[in-house]
Structure 1
Amino acid sequence: MKQSVKLIAGNWKMNGSAASLAEIEALRADAGRGEWRVEVVVFPPSPLVERVARAAGGSPIEVGAQDCRAEAAGAFTGCVSAELLHDAGARWVILGHSERRQGLGETSAGVAAKVEAALRAGLHPIICVGETLAERDAGEAETVVAAQVGASLPDSLRDQTFTLAYEPVWAIGTGRTPTPADIARMHEVIRSAAAARLGPVAADMRVLYGGSVNPANAATILATPGVDGALVGGASLKAADFLAIIHAA
């Protein structure tokens, strides 16, 4: 059975600084009231992972990284392995984010290799898929997303717990969101593609929605059938906004 607790993931992207630890303290204070009904993970930039993990220690807040290298070690200047991230305190990792697929040319095969690395290091992967506006306008959205799912999930996930995130590329950072019916339909497509690739284990995965989630639309999105949580971008940078989303679930 699919995990019933929703997951709210905050992707800081290339934002934040040591001063941002105050936002973690604000999250901790709110979590201490014992009213959270969701699982919460914060994904700061790599240089902040260890400090955020320390600041969140002993609280319900978990910490993840925004990407990893597929190799465990080696001459890869500027890259960070899954093992190094785990050692710094990360327990989750985002893989295949649309900004990396679109801007850095990441392929689904490359994402699958990074999923293997995450599992090797004991990180829980959130695997992102999604279509561009051109692909949606051409009527190719479902085909594109199903193909990404199939090619991004390695065989080793058959006995693992993992999460997928649907990110319509055209909605990220634009303030635009698909209709609840569009979101529900694409989540069905994602579940079907994952089941076709991996079999029954797909029934246990959570599928998050990511694409301009904010305090104003969070309740509607999180109440949409098939949505098991949210991958939040800019609205996760300030505790007040992120908490509004956490409490909307």
Structure 2
Amino acid sequence: MRKKIVAGNWKMNLTLAQGEQLINDILQAGLKLGEGQEVVVATPFPYLTKAKSLLKNYPGFFVAAQNCASEKSGAYTGEVSAEMLQSINVDYVILGHSERREYFQESNAILAKKVDQALAFGIKPIFCCGEPLNIREAGTQNAFVAKQLEESIFHLSAEEFKKIVIAYEPIWAIGTGLTASSAQAQDMHAFIRSQVAAKYGNEIALHTTILYGGSAKPGNAAELFACPDVDGGLIGGASLVAADFVSIIQKLG
């Protein structure tokens, strides 16, 4: 049985006090996670140790960083290495988010190095992939996403790949007013799983968790999570509102 995950990406939001209040509000909801279900909170770097402390007695709750460096150490002012994240017991790291690709020019090759760094220090990558509007309109989204997978994570051994979580972001449907239907989400998730199967075999593909990262909300989460190849969500704005985030988690079933 593959893991079902709801991960909240806070991005560059909230003060430490606001973040602490948000986590406490989520915990006070008394969520009962089922077998194989996880909640991941991806806070800004300065809040990771606090988040880890608040969640330490709650099974099924984990902490993620939103990025890590492509190098192990050295003269890289402002960077945070995977080894540093390991030293504070971070569980997951989000890599390849569409905002990192667009605003910070992160290439597939750079992301391959970041994935390697995370795995070398025992941190599980949540690897993001997805296509912009011009690619979707051209009908070449499958080839575009396949290239992202091939160049960033398909160099891994089978044992390494088992530690990867994939998150599909339909970039064209995030903050644009356009909406990806559950059928469109399922189609791409099924395609991604087929690519994993072609590379690593059906057994690994069936156990690979693939999250939907396209503006999931309480109103559409149940329909999305009911799709056979959608294993949860990477949640942006809705993860900053405790009631909304809790509602989405409850839709995991």
The TM-score with structure 2 as length reference comes to 0.92
**Alpha-carbon distance, 1:96 to partner:** 0.5
CA distance in 2: counterparts of 1:34 and 1:183, whole angstroms: 26
Identical-residue share of aligned pairs (%): 44
Q: What residue number does 2:194 align with?
A: 192
- Map 1:228-243 to 2 at 5 A: 228-243=231-246
CA 1:40/1:196 → structure 2, altered by over 3 Å: closer, same or farther?
Answer: same
- Map 1:23-172 to 2 at 5 A: 23-30=22-29, 33=30, 35-37=32-34, 38-60=37-59, 61-160=61-160, 161-172=163-174
Aligned partner (choices 10, 13, 20) of residue 12 of structure 1: 10
CA 1:157/1:172 → structure 2, altered by over 3 Å: closer, same or farther?
Answer: farther
Note the residue ranges of structure 1 that are not aligned, 5 or more in a row. none
Q: What residue number does 1:207 align with?
A: 210
Checking the alignment, whether the CA contact within 8 Å between 2:136 and 2:172 is kept in structure 1 is: no
**Alpha-carbon distance, 1:47 to partner:** 1.1
**Alpha-carbon distance, 1:54 to partner:** 1.1
CA distance in 2: counterparts of 1:163 and 1:93, whole angstroms: 10
RMSD: 1.5
* More moved, 199-208 vs 84-93: 199-208
**Alpha-carbon distance, 1:175 to partner:** 5.2
CA distance in 2: counterparts of 1:239 and 1:62, whole angstroms: 16
CA distance in 2: counterparts of 1:189 and 1:204, whole angstroms: 15
**Alpha-carbon distance, 1:241 to partner:** 1.0
Partner-residue secondary structure (3-state), 1:155? coil
Q: What are the superposed Cα offsets for residues 185-208 of structure 1, whole Å, 9 maximum, x if unpaired?
A: 101111122233334533321110
Q: What are the superposed Cα offsets for residues 65-118 of structure 1, whole Å, 9 maximum, x if unpaired?
A: 011002121110000001111222311000001111122111111111111100
CA distance in 2: counterparts of 1:218 and 1:34, whole angstroms: 17
CA distance in 2: counterparts of 1:57 and 1:174, whole angstroms: 37
Checking the alignment, whether the CA contact within 8 Å between 2:5 and 2:233 is kept in structure 1 is: yes
Read off the aligned partner of 2:32 and give its amino acid letter: E
**Alpha-carbon distance, 1:29 to partner:** 2.1
Read off the aligned partner of 2:193 and give its amino acid letter: R
CA distance in 2: counterparts of 1:70 and 1:202, whole angstroms: 26
Checking the alignment, whether the CA contact within 8 Å between 2:9 and 2:66 is kept in structure 1 is: yes
Read off the aligned partner of 2:93 and give its amino acid letter: V
**Alpha-carbon distance, 1:34 to partner:** 5.4
Partner-residue secondary structure (3-state), 2:20? helix
**Alpha-carbon distance, 1:132 to partner:** 0.3
**Alpha-carbon distance, 1:134 to partner:** 0.6
CA distance in 2: counterparts of 1:116 and 1:196, whole angstroms: 21
Partner-residue secondary structure (3-state), 1:10? strand
**Alpha-carbon distance, 1:162 to partner:** 1.4
Q: What are the superposed Cα offsets for residues 36-77 of structure 1, whole Å, 9 maximum, x if unpaired?
A: 233100000111111111111111321010110021211100
Note the residue ranges of structure 2 that are not aligned, 5 or more in a row. none
CA 1:178/1:34 → structure 2, altered by over 3 Å: closer, same or farther?
Answer: closer
CA distance in 2: counterparts of 1:198 and 1:115, whole angstroms: 17
1:221 and 2:219 aligned: no
**Alpha-carbon distance, 1:157 to partner:** 4.3
Checking the alignment, whether the CA contact within 8 Å between 2:10 and 2:42 is kept in structure 1 is: yes
How many pairs align? 245
